[in-house]
């Protein structure tokens, strides 16, 4: 099963304060352990919301709202995508993350094709598989 770990934004991350060399070293070591264990699929940090935008959909209307966004507790500063055997295993890895000072991380399971049931027809499954294979090929 796959899980996304969402790293919540802080006032510092929204202000563009970069992590210390010590935290970057600890994070590099943590990521290396995730890779060696075959857990890490992807992971990135995100720029502050001042560089972002949101899009609101209302029927056919599209409205762009430029950052910054005021509710820091609702914002994301980064993420990991993990492949693990269970939620418990993901939580064990999460406990080892090199965060402190009130950092908050959220763990969310990623949907798999099987989770969508009969509505996700064989044709739709094949299309999904083809599209993502093409996307991976373009990244190479």
Q: Which residues contact 4 (CB under 8 A, 6 or more apart)?
A: 79, 80, 81, 82, 107, 108, 110
> What pLDDT does 102 receive?
79
pLDDT of 48: 96
Q: What are the boundaries of each domain within the chain?
A: 2-109, 116-140
- Per-residue pLDDT, 75: 95
Please give the CATH topology (third level) of the domain spanning 2-109. Answer: Alpha-Beta Plaits (3.30.70)
Q: What is the DSSP letter of 80?
A: E
The confidence score (pLDDT) of residue 70 equals: 85
pLDDT of residue 73: 78
- pLDDT for residue 32: 98
pLDDT, tens only, 12-65? 999 999 999 999 999 999 999 999 999 999 999 999 999 999 999 999 999 999
Is residue 23 within 8 A of residue 100, CB to CB? The reply is no
CA distance 104 to 8: 6
pLDDT tens string 55-106:
999 999 999 999 999 887 789 999 999 999 999 999 999 999 999 877 899 9
């Amino acid at each position: 099963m796959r899980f996304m770990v969402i790293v919540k934004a802080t006032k510092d991350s929204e202000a563009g304060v970069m992590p210390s060399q010590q935290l970057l070293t600890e994070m590099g070591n943590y990521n290396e352990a995730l890779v060696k264990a075959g857990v890490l699929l992807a992971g990135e940090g995100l720029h502050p919301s001042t560089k972002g935008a949101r899009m609101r959909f209302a029927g056919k209307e599209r409205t762009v709202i430029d950052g910054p966004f005021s509710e820091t507790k609702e914002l994301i500063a980064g993420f990991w995508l993990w492949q693990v055997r269970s939620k418990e295993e993901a939580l064990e890895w999460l406990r080892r993350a090199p965060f402190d000072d009130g950092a908050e991380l959220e763990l969310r399971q990623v949907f798999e094709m099987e989770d969508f049931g009969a509505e996700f027809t064989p044709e739709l499954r094949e299309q999904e598989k083809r599209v993502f294979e093409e996307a991976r090929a373009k990244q190479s």
